[in-house]
């Protein structure tokens, strides 16, 4: 039974890896394609971020520049939108799409978007859970093995708490997907509304942003597989212990 489950896990992970490679290839291909297409407004990624902040009355947010390609991100705690080298000074369709996507996150925070608030609230839980999940499972096993005077279910319940904490990572990935999709939806709307892209240029921006969404879907599927594997492992171990009693 154990080996059968393990082979299913390896097969699922292999599928997730293939999909992740496909998603990464897709987003890089789309970005390269439209990174060579200048937008008609002539605005750069930096210009786009500034324009969208001004038009949406966003204050107290600075714009930074970071190394790399597609390393763009919004850091709400530091109140900064970091644009990568490939986005900051480029006037390509891809660059303004990526910059507008990050501004979409800024607008989510400003508007109090539910899924964005949930994801932010989960960050400390995920960090806490990732450190304690496995230790709790091990403590549960030790109690189950050696604490003969304890309630026979105590060890199992402690281990189950570890599984729940581990599951926070999957929940985080699950909530991240609608957050990213909504940021892209906001980005496309703002780009046209502010005249940064024309409607016919928007198809290129949509291709870049849709490809990027695939990477989050791949992350979600991988997180689900690992969570299910962890859950099945704990249930199997304690199931065997109970059968031997």
Q: What is the pLDDT of residue 124?
A: 86
pLDDT at residue 21 in the model: 95
Which of 85, 102, 180, 194 is catalytic? The answer is: 102
CB 125 within 8 A of CB 167: no
Residue 149 falls inside a structural domain = yes
Q: Does residue 45 belong to any structural domain of this protein?
A: no
**Domain assignment of residue 170, yes or no:** yes
Please give the structure tokens belonging to residue 91.
């006037």
Residue 15: domain span = 2-38+112-244
**57 in a domain, yes or no?**
no
For this structure, is 201 an active site residue?
no
Q: What is the pLDDT of residue 8?
A: 82
Question: Per the domain annotation, does 16 fall within a domain?
Answer: yes
Distance CA 117, CA 119 (A): 5
How many domains in the chain? Answer: 1
Q: Does residue 103 sit within a domain?
A: no
Q: Positive or negative, the Cα torsion across 189, 195, 198, 204?
A: negative
> Is residue 101 in a domain?
no
Q: Which residues of 39-54 are buried (b: 16+ CB within 10 A; e: fewer)?
A: bebebbbbbbbbbbbe
Alpha-carbon distance 132 to 159, whole Å? 10
Q: CA-CA distance, 190 to 50, in Å (whole number)?
A: 12
pLDDT in tens, the chain (245 residues): 455 667 788 889 899 999 999 999 999 999 999 999 999 999 999 999 999 999 999 999 999 999 988 999 999 999 999 999 999 999 999 999 999 999 999 999 999 999 999 999 998 888 777 676 677 777 766 766 665 455 557 777 777 788 888 888 899 999 999 999 999 999 999 999 999 999 999 999 999 999 999 999 999 999 999 888 888 877 777 765 555 45
In a domain, 79, yes or no: no
The answer to whether residues 69 and 98 touch, using CB atoms and an 8 Å cutoff, is: no
**Distance from C-alpha of 6 to C-alpha of 232, rounded to nearest angstrom:** 10
Q: Are 159 and 5 in contact (CB under 8 A)?
A: no
Instruction: Please give the structure tokens belonging to residue 21.
Output: 């490679």
């Amino acid at each position: 039974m154990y080996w059968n489950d393990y082979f299913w896990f390896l097969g699922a992970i292999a599928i997730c890896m293939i999909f992740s490679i496909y998603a990464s290839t897709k987003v890089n291909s789309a970005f390269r394609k439209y990174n060579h297409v200048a937008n008609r407004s002539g605005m750069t990624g930096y210009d786009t971020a500034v324009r969208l902040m001004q038009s949406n009355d966003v204050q107290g947010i600075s714009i930074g520049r970071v190394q790399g390609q597609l390393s763009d991100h919004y850091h709400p705690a530091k109140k900064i939108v970091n644009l990568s080298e490939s986005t900051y000074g480029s006037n390509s369709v891809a660059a303004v799409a990526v910059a507008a996507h990050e501004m979409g996150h800024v607008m989510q925070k400003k508007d109090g978007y539910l899924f964005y608030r949930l994801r932010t609230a989960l960050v400390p839980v995920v960090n806490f859970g990732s450190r304690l999940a496995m230790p709790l499972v091990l403590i549960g096993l030790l109690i189950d093995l050696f604490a003969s005077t304890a309630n026979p279910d105590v060890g199992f319940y402690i281990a189950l708490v570890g599984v729940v904490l581990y599951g926070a990572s999957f929940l985080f990935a699950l909530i991240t997907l609608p957050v990213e999709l909504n940021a892209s939806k906001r980005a496309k709307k703002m780009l046209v509304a502010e005249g940064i892209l024309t409607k016919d240029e928007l198809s290129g921006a949509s291709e870049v942003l849709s490809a990027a969404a695939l990477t989050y879907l791949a992350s979600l599927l991988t997180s689900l597989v690992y969570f299910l594997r962890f859950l099945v492992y704990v249930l199997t171990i304690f199931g065997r212990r109970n059968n031997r009693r």
